[in-house]
Structure 1
Amino acid sequence: MRSRRHQLRTVLSGFGFGSMASGVGVAPESALERTKKRLQALELDQFVDFFRGDHVAEGDLRAKVAQWWDLAALDAQFVSS
């Protein structure tokens, strides 16, 4: 299964997922449908569960997201894919 795990991590990172912990990644919701389709095509969807979360802390969420991710680089990935 090592090669499948590597393939899965490669696909997820290509769609902008950031690693939070071993086996846990986060990404913008806009990546959800494209990621699901790609994982289904590669028969990797059986290894993944998706969750949605809400930001509940104080402050401007857009500013925080811009701190967490390189949004320009992610944009470039989605445009070129």
Structure 2
Amino acid sequence: SYGALRITRELRRRGQVVNRKRVARIMRERQIAGITRRKSRSLTKQDRSAAPAPDLILRDFTAPMPGLKLVGDITCLPTAEGWLY
């Protein structure tokens, strides 16, 4: 998971005399690549001043007959072509 810069710093810390470009070249020749850890980000920002949505069914999900109470949620899935909702 280390990249060339991080490997160079570690080798120097251990007393080796090494250049970052040399480490990068050797990594490239041996097809070694560092893993980039991306920072997770939220797609939406919560509006803390907004009032919560009213609970119109008062948390009672039972219904005397089908189709009387309908509830739902939105799901977002990342795909190769973009987000699928």
TM-score, normalising length from structure 2? 0.22
Structure with the greater alpha carbon radius of gyration: 2
Structure possessing the higher relative contact order (Cα contacts under 8 Å, 6 or more residues apart)? 1
